Structure formats: structure tokens, C-alpha cells
Chains A and B, each alone.
Chain A
Amino acid sequence: MSEEDRCIRCGSCMRACPVVSTFGESVFPGPRSLAVDAPRTGKPMSMDELLKCSICMMCRDACPSRIDLPRSILALRAANRRGTLRPGHKRLVENIDSYGYSVRPDEGVHGPYPCKGPTTCLFPGCISRWRRPEILDDAAYVLRSNGTEVACPEDLVCCGSPLEKIGEHERRERLVDRNFPILEKFERVVTTCPGCAGQIVGYGIDAMHIVEYLYEVVGVEHLVSGLDGKGLKIAVHMPCHLNRDVGPHTKEYVHSILGAIPGLKVVEYPEEDRCCGAGGSLLSGFPEMAAALAKGKASAADRAGADLIVTSCPFCVVNLTNAGTMRTLDIVSLLRTASNR
């Protein structure tokens, strides 16, 4: 009996789905329709329908029958690989084939960190290396100023997460083969991106997201000493892959860290855990949908009275910034800003 056969059609997954509740079932059929109903009725599904899931895992956490709906959707994407990919996904595949990264490297950006020496690796990740290099820089800064020197080897490539999301498993394996020998030599691997953390754990390497590292290894007290929140009012955006893949303990970590920064006010709002729309290849495949989700999120933070959004995922930063209504910072950038230096 397959896991999907346990469905009792309570609709919890459909109500939890941010894409369904934003765009309606006529645009995106929803987790149950895709993962449970369609395979059962033999209803043909277009790759487009499958690709509109942001793999936020809200549905998985909502299911009282413990069905891993996102996993089923990823399996269907892989099985449906001959289905046409979106232009953004094709570009992503081409970039990986050409450069090893899901985005085209920018000539002006270089990894500024030594490759030898430190026993901790800061895994760069495509977005924080090439699109948001300041996040990588801020992460290295925060780690260094708290006593951890990091290496960031040039030869590391994309973690494989974007390929997993579009069903390109063989290509993904090739990336794993390139990254693994480099990463396994380090005592500790830290990532800025929750997607990378989950992927590298999947390699069999105990990667930590930087939030975990800062909380568990550095310690909140040490981390926040001397910081000044400057009276900023911030709204937290919990990245889906941090909250639900790396694990919900990170939510407690994020709040402990932010809550301990003197002069910083965290505003509460009910949408804190809601998907911003970047994940699951939605941003590369359907940028207008990702933007609409991000706008919704940003205006919820705005209504809550926040000055800016703080998150802990470079990809969420990109998407929320695209929404254009709220300034968005990665937590490492906020920490650096608050250090007054």
C-alpha cells in the first residue's frame, strides 16, 4: 500500500497550500490533486501543473495521515521529465552544464576566502555566491568575528537542489560527485542557504545551516554581545526549507538570536511561516507567481508595522526584494549591520 492511499480527503493539505490559497485550484490543482488524485484516476498532468508547487512542505506538515506530499510531487516531476520545462528551468540546466552553478557567474564577483587552512567550510551556494555575494561576505564576517575562520573552496558547485526540484536526478548526481570529495575533508560544513543544507545532509555530510551553527556552536550570548538593533522593527520570514526541512528547531533559534539583540523589536504577524514563493523552482519557472506570493508576504509584514523583513535564506532575500515593497535582509547581514562596524 502506498503512502498516498492513506488519504482521508480532509483537505488539510489544500487549505495549507500557499499557492492554492493565493491563486486558486484553477491555476494550481494543489497537493492532493497532484499527489493523490491524479495518479489514482490516471488523469494526465502537465509538467506546468507539477512545477507550480513551491515545495514549501506546509502540506506535509498539515497532513494528519503523514503523507509526504512534496516528495510525491518531486517523484512525479522526475517521472514526467519528458514534460516541457519552463524557459527559466532550461536556463538553469544550461547554466549548470556550463558553469556548475544554477545562475550565470558574474565576472565581478570572486570568493574572497582562503581555500586551505580552516577546518570549517562555508558552502557558497549559487545565490549567495553570485547573486547576493554580500550575504556570503556577511556570513564569513559574522563567523570570523565570533572566532570561526572559514574556507570557501572555489571548486564547489551547485548543491543540486534546483535539479532535484525539476527531476534532473542524473545531473544532480554529477554535482554531488564534484562537491562530496571537497566537503568531506572539512570537520564542519556551514551553509547560508537552507536548501543547500538539506541537500548536503542528503550527501551524508552533517551540514549545518548558519543559524544552527550560530545558536549551537557560537551561542546566543556571545553572538549578540555588543550589538545594537538601532530601534529597528523587524518581521521574521521563516524560510520553508529552514523551518520544515532543516527543522522547526531553527525557528526557536532565529527568535532567540533576534530577540536577544538589544534595541531590536521583532513584530509578530500570523504569516511568519508562510512561503514567500521562491522555492521548489517556482521563482525560476513562474516568476510572476513567485512575485505575487512575495508581495502578499511583504504587505503582511508591512501591515504588522515592520521596518524590514529578516530572513535566513539568500533565495528568499532575492524573491522578497523583488516584491519591491519591503527591505529584506538575511540574518547574517542584519547581524553585521547591528555590529556597527
Chain B
Amino acid sequence: MRGVDVMLLEKGDFCSGSSGGNHGLLHSGARYAVKDPESAKECVSESRILKGIAWNCIEDTGGMFVSVGKDDPGFADVFHDACKATGVRAARSTAKELHQVERNLSDDVADGFLVDDAVIDPFRLVLTNIEDARRHGATVRNHCEVVSFERSDGHIGEVKFKDQRNGSVGSVVPEVVVNAAGSSSGSIASMVGGNLAMTRDYGTLVVFSGKLVSGTVNRLRPPSDGDIIVPSHTSMIAGTTSRSISGPSDARPTIEDKELIIKEVSEMVPALRGARAIRAYGASRPLASGSSGRGASRTFKLIDHEEGGVDNLISIIGGKLTTYRMMAERTSDAVCAKLGVRANCTTGEEVMEASRLDEAVTLVSASQSESMRRRYGHVPSEMMNVVPVGSMGVQSCSCENVMRFELEHYASSEDVITIADLMRRTRAGMGYCQGTGCMWEMASALSDEGDIDLLIRDFVRERREGSSTVIEGDQLRQEMFRSHLLWPFQAARGGEER
């Protein structure tokens, strides 16, 4: 948008790391008002901007902070003052008023605040950004992992990357390299010989089937484990925990994490105790400061590696989803300064392309276009090209109401090579059956390019990863049933992956 020729390389799929591993809360800022006022202020301004430029990715649900019986009653005043000081809107409300908004709240809820939290779909947000970046001329490649940096005299020359689709190695000689690799930022920096001090903090989230809340419900107390419930599409996400980890092998939700979250959040919404937990997942938060966990600031840090001896590398670490645009703006400011580009950043004003799309004349039923609007923010007109003439076609995923033409549309994209890629774009497979039926449909849509056996195996591994320690109740029966259907694949491997 500032006239710079850009290439974006992603080793996996877009949003398959930390950005996709959060609860999708668009912070009003209230969560940070007391301890991290700078973050709070950033959230106030950024959430307002995002509601404009990325409206199709946001459900403006509103939210609340509630105090429960035993919570420190003094914290409400501290919270209220901090919100005022940071410009966060927080309307003090009685228990009765809060119950009117959320009927499943616990009777132990004493009082609280209504805030401007919203829910953002991280997958949709990242994909919308990608589409818009491409429209502005950027080259964007996923499934392309950087394998080497050529470096001489403190300057990065050729960057080589491997395309997972065919194993081919490509290269580019950039003037400036931006390292925005999330929890892999450290290893990227060290590949160049740079150094990045960062902490990895792991947070677990639990996904429940169905919705017991209409907006976000936060605990009115200092940030702690299990203090938030976020409604998301057909499910609820509750979290989080926070523990520092040394490497990716620790990055796995544990049964203790899950039990702790359920214990804590059910103090706010008791019915959650009986809700069906579909899976637990998590991601490591790459934190900028030396300290870790809850104490660490959630603001971001922009590092110019010039001082460390690399004159064209910039790393951006830390931060949070709500302030991603601001992080990007500061980063591109730094890039433009290096390149001598004087154009201003306009990401705060321009509505992103996918968000601006007019509603297509829909060939689909009213309920389907409603579902698509919820999942995509709009009914993508280009998708209509694959709707079978005269019919709505076949439903592929009934948990999330995804039609086969939606799968076929995304499967035809160069970006999509795995079932999980297709899932992130359509939500097929994210429901309580975790792809029991639709993974075959997705494999079918992708099978022109992919090996069906590998596609299925990868997807099952992706879904089971981390989750297998925490599933219980009827979700365990569900998993047994899914295994039952996978028998042909398992038997063929002689049970090697049992």
C-alpha cells in the first residue's frame, strides 16, 4: 500500500501458529487497564479501527467483567479507575443487569461491568489481510519455509526457501527482511546470526460445543488462569493458562490445564461444567520482555538488528492479536525508513478488500447465505462460480453447515494443500465431530493434488495433537467412533500409529 515490492513467506499455512492459537477476543482494553495501561490504550484505538477495516471478521458481541462471591470487592474500584484513566469504556452494572445480558451467569455473580469486547475470527482476519495484500501487489506464499540466509558484511543477501508443494527451492534477494515468525522468531534471527531475547509462554484453551454465552465473559480480578469465556461461531472458547515453556515439546495442553480452566470459568457460568469439551489447544505466546507469564507486558517490541550486526533485518515480537495492525504499521514504518519510502501508512483507514465486497446475488438458500455470512463475513461472489447450476449442492460438513462448493472453491486455491488448510478457510471439521464425516469430503476436494492417505493421516494427526490427553466424556466416544471409520487406514499400516 506504500508502494514497496513485498514478498511474504510462511512455512506452514497462514494463521497456523500463535495467531490461530488464541481465543479470538478483540480486546476492549479492559483486561489490561490495571496492570498494562499502555496495552489497554492500544486496544482501545485498535479495536475501534479493526471494527471498521475488518468488519467481516468481527462479531461485535460486547462483553462483561464479573466478580464472583469470593473475589476481592476492592478490585472493582481499581478496575473502574484504571479503565477511566486509559479511556476504556466500562459501565458498572448490577448482578441483575448482567443476568439480563447473559442468562447463564452464576447466581454468585455479585456485580461487574459491561465492556466493548468483541469476537474476531483470527483465520478470517489473516486471510482477509492476505487477499488485500495481494490486491495491492504483494507476493504471498504459504507452505514455503525459509531454509537459508546468505549473509555478508552484516547484510542479508539471498534468501532461499523451500516450497512444500514440490520440494523446489526458490530464492529472493530482498533489500530488507522482516522477521515476524512468532514463536520461531528466535530461530529465524539466529539463522542470520542475530540474537533475539524472548520468552515463550504457553497458554491452553478449551473449546466447548454450543454457546452458553452471547458475549465475552471475563473475571473481574487481576489476570489469572481461566478468566475468560469467548463465544465463537458454534462454540465457546474458555481460557487461558499461562506457563513458560522451554521448547515446542512442552507446547501441549495437559489435563491439569483443562481441569483448571473448567473449574475457574464454571464459577462464572456453572453450566460450562457439563458442556461438551471438544478439544483443547494452545499456542506459545512469543513475549518481548525478559519476564514471563502474566507479569509480562503484552505490548510488542520492534527490533532493528543493525546494532546486532545485521543492517537489513527487523524483528517484530510480542504483542497480541488486537494490536496486530499497529504492530504492522510500526514495522512497515521502520522498513520504509530504511528504504527511504515516504508514503504514509493507510491501513488504519482503508477497509480491506474482502470486507468491502458487495453481497453477491446469492444462488444459495437464505439459511446458507446466513451461515456463510457468519463464517466469511459476507457471501463471496467468486465462490458462486462453483455452485452447481439450479441447485444448492451437497452439504459436506453439517456441524458447521459447509457446502461442497465452498470446499471446492477453496481447494482450487494454490494456497490450499492440506485438509487443515481447507478447514481454516471454511470451518469444515471444526465442529464437535472433528471431521468425522467431512474429512473424506475435504480429501476428495483436494485429491487432485494430494495423496489421499497422507491427507487423511496428516489431518487426524493435526486434530489429535495435544488433544488426545484431554478428551473425555462423549467426546471420547466421538473419537472412538472416528477411529472406527479410520480403520481401513489404520489396518493398512499394520496399526503402526495406534
A–B touching in complex (CB under 8 Å): yes
A40 and B274 within 8 A (CB): no
A174 at the B interface (CB under 8 A): no
> What residues on B are CB-neighbors of A45 within 8 Å?
367
User: Does the CB pair B398–A32 fall under 8 Å?
Assistant: yes
Q: Collect the chain A residues with CB atoms within 8 Å of residue B324's CB.
A: none
Please measure, in the bound complex, the distance between the C-alpha atom of A136 and the C-alpha atom of B97, giving whole angstroms. 59
- Report yes or no: A43 in contact with B367, Cβ–Cβ below 8 A: yes
Neighbour of A8 across the interface among B367, B391, B400, B481, CB < 8 A: B481
Task: State whether the Cβ of A6 lies closer than 8 Å to any Cβ in chain B.
Answer: yes
On whether the beta carbons of B478 and A1 are closer than 8 Å, the reply is no
Question: What 0/1 readout, one digit per residue, does chain A (1-35) give for beta carbons within 8 Å of chain B?
Answer: 10001111111000000000000011000001100
Count of A-B contacts judged by CB separation below 8 Å: 56
| B477 contact set on A, CB distance < 8 A | 8, 65
Interface residue? A37 (CB, 8 A): yes
Please name all residues of chain A whose beta carbon is closer than 8 Å to the beta carbon of B276 when the two chains form the complex.
1, 5-6
**Residue numbers in B under 8 Å from A65 (CB-CB):** 474, 477
Mark each residue of chain B from 280 to 296: 1 if its CB lies under 8 Å from any CB of chain A, else 0: 00000000000000000
User: Roughly how many angstroms separate A43 CA and B274 CA in the complex, as a whole number?
Assistant: 23
Q: In the bound complex, what is the Cα–Cα distance between A6 and B395 (angstroms)?
A: 22
Q: A1-B274, A1-B276 are in contact. Are A8 and B398 (CB under 8 A)?
A: no
Q: Are A33 and B398 in contact (CB under 8 A)?
A: yes
B474 touching A5, Cβ below 8 Å = yes
Contact B210 A5 (CB under 8 A): yes
Chain B residue with the shortest CB-CB distance to A1? B274
Nearest-neighbor residue (CB-CB) of B375 within chain A: A41
**Distance of A28 from chain B, by nearest CB (Å):** 13
Contacting residues, chain A, for B399 (C-beta < 8 A):
9, 37, 40-41
Within 8 A of A (CB), among B389-407: 391-392, 395, 398-401
Do B433 and A44 touch (CB < 8 A)? no
A44 to chain B: which residues have CB within 8 Å?
366-367, 370
Q: B433 contacts which chain A residues (CB < 8 A)?
A: 8-9
Which residues of chain B have C-beta atoms less than 8 A from A26's C-beta? 391-392
Q: Is the CB of B234 within 8 A of A41?
A: yes
B470 to chain A, nearest CB (A): 17
A7 nearest CB neighbor, chain B only: B432
Q: How far is the CA of A72 from the CA of B367 in the complex (A)?
A: 20
A181 within 8 Å of B by Cβ? no
A40 and B234 in contact, given A1-B276, A5-B276, A8-B433 (Cβ under 8 angstroms): yes
Complex alpha-carbon distance, A8 and B481, angstroms: 7
How far, in Å, is B26 (CB) from chain A's closest CB?
20
- Interface size class on chain A is 20 to 34
Q: A5-B210, A37-B398 are in contact. Are A43 and B370 (CB under 8 A)?
A: yes
| B371 lies within 8 A of chain A by Cβ | yes
Chain B 28-72 against A: per-residue CB contact (8 Å), 1 yes, 0 no? 000000000000000000000000000000000000000000000
What B residues does A8 contact at CB under 8 A? 433, 436, 474, 477-478, 481
Q: Which residues of B contact A33 (CB under 8 A)?
A: 398
Which of chain A's residues have a CB closer than 8 A to the CB of B436?
8-9
Chain B nearest CB from A212 CB (Å) reads 36
With the chains together, A11 CA to B485 CA distance in Å?
12
Min CB distance, B199 to chain A, in Å? 38
* Cα distance A45–B210 in the bound complex, in angstroms: 17
Q: Which of A6, A41, A65 has the most CB of B within 10 A?
A: A41
- Given the complex, which residues of A lie within 8 Å of B370, measured CB to CB? 43-44
Complex contact B474–A43 (CB within 8 A): no
Residues of A within 8 A of B398 (CB): 9, 32-33, 37
| A13 CB, nearest partner CB in chain B, Å | 12
B209 at the interface (CB under 8 A from A): yes
A204 at the interface (CB under 8 A from B): no
A42 in the interface, Cβ–Cβ < 8 Å?
A: yes
A11→B234 CA distance, assembly (Å) = 20
Q: Which residues of B contact A6 (CB under 8 A)?
A: 276, 474
Does B437 contact A43, Cβ atoms closer than 8 Å? no
Complex Cα gap A299–B234 (Å)? 44
Q: How far is B368's CA from A45's CA once the two chains are assembled, in angstroms?
A: 11
Cα distance, A10 to B477, chains bound together (Å): 11
Would you give the 0/1 interface string for B254-269, flagging 1 where the beta carbon is closer than 8 Å to chain A?
A: 0000000000000000
Q: Assess whether B275 is interfacial by the CB under 8 Å rule.
A: yes
Q: Does B209 lie within 8 Å of A40, measured CB to CB?
A: yes
On whether the beta carbons of A41 and B400 are closer than 8 Å, the reply is: yes
- Selected from A10, A40, A42, the residue in CB contact (under 8 A) with B481 is A10
A-contact bits for B294-323, CB 8 A (1 contact / 0 none): 000000000000000000000000000000
Q: Which residue of B lies closest to A45 (CB)?
A: B367
A40-59 interface code vs B (CB 8 A; 1 in, 0 out): 11111100000000000000
For residue B370, which residue of chain A has the nearest CB? A44
Distance (Å) between the CB of B266 and the closest chain A CB? Answer: 12
Which residues of chain A come closer than 8 Å to B391, judged between CB atoms?
A: 26
A42 to B431: give the CA distance in the assembly, Å: 13
Of all chain A residues, the one with the shortest Cβ separation from B484 is A10
Q: How far is the CA of A50 from the CA of B274 in the complex (A)?
A: 28
Q: Chain B: which residue is nearest A37 at the CB level?
A: B398
Expressed in whole angstroms, the Cα–Cα distance for A20 and B275 within the complex equals: 30
Shortest CB-to-CB span from B467 to chain A, Å, is 16
Q: Are A1 and B395 in touch, CB under 8 angstroms?
A: no
Within 8 A of A (CB), among B370-392: 370-371, 374, 391-392
Q: How far is the CA of A8 from the CA of B437 in the complex (A)?
A: 11
| Alpha-carbon separation in the docked complex, A41 to B392 (Å) | 19
CA distance A43 to B233 in the complex (A): 11
Whether the Cβ atoms of B275 and A25 lie closer than 8 Å is no
- Output the least CB separation between A88 and chain B (Å): 24
Q: How far is the CB of A20 from chain B (nearest CB, A)?
A: 13
Cα distance, A32 to B371, chains bound together (Å): 18
By the criterion CB–CB under 8 Å, are A40 and B437 in contact?
Answer: no
Q: Are the CB atoms of B481 and A41 closer together than 8 Å?
A: no
Task: Report the minimal beta-carbon distance from A52 to chain B, rounded to whole angstroms.
Answer: 15
Bound together, the chains give a CA A1 to CA B398 distance in angstroms of 20
Distance between A161 CB and nearest chain B CB, rounded to angstroms: 30
A9 touches B234 (CB 8 A): no
* Known contacts A5-B209, A11-B437, A25-B395; A41 and B474 CB within 8 A of each other: no
Name which residue of chain A comes closest to B436, CB basis.
A9
**Binary interface encoding of chain A residues 50-77 relative to chain B, with 1 for a CB under 8 A from any of its CBs, else 0:** 0000000000000001000000000000
> Which of A1, A10, A32, A41 meets B401, CB within 8 Å?
A41
A residues within 8 A CB of B371?
41, 43
Q: Which residues does chain A contribute within 8 Å of B474, judged by CB atoms?
A: 5-6, 8, 65
Provided the pairs A11-B437, A40-B234, A44-B366 are in contact, do residues A5 and B401 lie with their beta carbons within 8 angstroms?
A: no
CA A41 – CA B399 in complex, angstroms? 7
- Which residues of B approach A to under 8 Å, CB–CB? 209-210, 234, 274-276, 366-367, 370-371, 374, 391-392, 395, 398-401, 432-433, 436-437, 474, 477-478, 481
Could you pull out 10 A-B pairs where Cβ atoms are within 8 angstroms? A5-B276, A6-B276, A9-B399, A26-B391, A26-B392, A32-B398, A37-B398, A41-B400, A65-B474, A65-B477
Taking A5-B474, A8-B478, A44-B367 as known contacts, 7 extra A-B pairs with beta carbons closer than 8 A to each other, sorted by chain A number, are A8-B436, A9-B481, A41-B401, A43-B371, A43-B401, A65-B474, A65-B477
The 10 closest A-B pairs by CB, nearest first: A1-B274, A9-B433, A8-B478, A5-B276, A8-B481, A41-B234, A6-B474, A44-B367, A37-B398, A43-B367
